[in-house]
Amino acid sequence: MNRKHIMKPITLMMLLASTAVSAEWQALPDVAPAPKDNPTTEAKVKLGKMLFMDPRFSSTGTVSCNSCHNVMEGGDDSRTFSMGVHGKTGGRNAPTVWNSAFHSVQFWDGRADLLEDQAKGPVTNPVEMGVSEIEQAMDKVRSVPGYKPYFDKAFGQDSMTVVNAAKAVAAFERTLITPNSPYDKYVKGDKKAMNAQQVRGMETFAAVGCVSCHSGAAFNGPKMEFGQGFYAKFPTFADNTYVKEYDLATDKGREEVTGSKADANMFRVPTLRNITDTAPYFHNGSVNNLSESVRIMAKLQLNKTLSEEEVKDIVAFLGALTGEYPEITMPRLPATSGYSLVADK
């Protein structure tokens, strides 16, 4: 089994115990990092956006990447569980695609190292896009003549492959970043960018220990090499009513990937960027209120009961993490001439 992604629970506990009141506050970079074998180019981004928006490659012709990760909104779909082909729903909440380029690994359980790997997963998932083999979806792409010039420009001749399609989608997703939030402006020196309550919430966020996991520029943990995941056990303190009320311990998280009991209930730490726009919350989408989520996290992860004033201040601070969404225009997709890719046979 591949164990390189694992952050053991004891390590998390050590972090929780050693959290200082102060924190290293970092602004979100204006450009997302890219792997050496897939530098971001305008041609890749343009192609990737088209593929991201095109539902014709799902088994029913009804589900695209954007169906569950709507970039015209918060990068999710506002549902507890996303709906895929034939009205099927999965068992985990769709995380936002905004700022996903800053994740240490992809998916809640870290089963994909890079965005390039993640882009392939939903295509063959029977609940999501429902294609039996990923080459079947790629054959549909190849059958649309209008896609070839975009692949040629992005990758060269004879480049219509699954690998390159995934690289293009990943390149597009790396443009989906939201810098210049009030928080970013504040840490860059504009002390009027956040109001008094938000500043107080920022201090409380650090003081109670939230930064143990939600650190770094994207508030999803320390900067790590591609594919080296940062995980936390959730719930850490399970002896309380929240766990049963919101069914927070049934999903075993990373254990389902590795098969190791040591990974039970371990999840990749999610970003808190734009969190006001991405309800419902948690891996199972069970909580539809940000204030309640803050209370739950304090109790389950830090074994602390926050006052209502502390909750309000932290929620105010989280609101300051919503950045500037770049303008997204819908692409014109290449059409087929005289036939349909998705017509019932």
pLDDT value for 306: 98
Residues marked active site are found at 128
Half-sphere exposure of 27 (CA within 13 A, CB side): 16
Please say whether the dihedral angle defined by the alpha carbons of residues 154, 155, 159 and 165, taken in this order, is positive or negative: negative
φ, ψ of residue 150 in degrees (nearest 5):
-70, -40
CATH number listed for the domain at residues 9-30+179-319: 1.10.760.10
Nearest residue to 319 (alpha-carbon basis) of 183, 189, 192: 183
Look at residue 225 in the predicted model and tell me its pLDDT. Answer: 77
pTM, two decimals, is 0.92
How far is Cα 280 from Cα 155, in angstroms, rounded to an integer?
38
What is residue 141's predicted lDDT score, i.e. its pLDDT?
A: 97
Give CA–CA dist 314/320, Å, rounded: 10
What are the structural domain ranges in the chain?
A: 9-30+179-319, 42-173
Rounded-to-integer distance, Cα 309 and Cα 275, Å: 20
pLDDT at 2: 43
Bridge partners for 106 per DSSP = 112
Task: Tell me which CATH homologous superfamily contains domain 42-173.
Answer: Cytochrome c-like domain (1.10.760.10)
Beta strands, E only, the chain: 231-233, 266-268
Query: Could you list the pLDDT tens digit for every one of the 345 residues in the chain?
Result: 344 444 433 344 444 444 444 468 999 999 999 999 999 999 999 999 999 999 999 999 999 999 999 999 999 999 999 999 999 999 999 999 999 999 989 999 999 999 999 999 999 999 999 999 999 999 999 999 999 999 999 999 999 999 999 999 999 999 999 999 999 999 999 999 999 999 999 999 999 999 999 999 999 999 887 778 999 999 999 999 999 999 999 999 999 999 999 999 999 999 999 999 999 999 999 999 999 999 999 999 999 999 999 999 999 999 999 999 999 999 999 999 899 989 875
User: Do the domains spanning 9-30+179-319 and 42-173 agree at the CATH topology level?
Assistant: yes
Residue with tokens 């305008």: 42
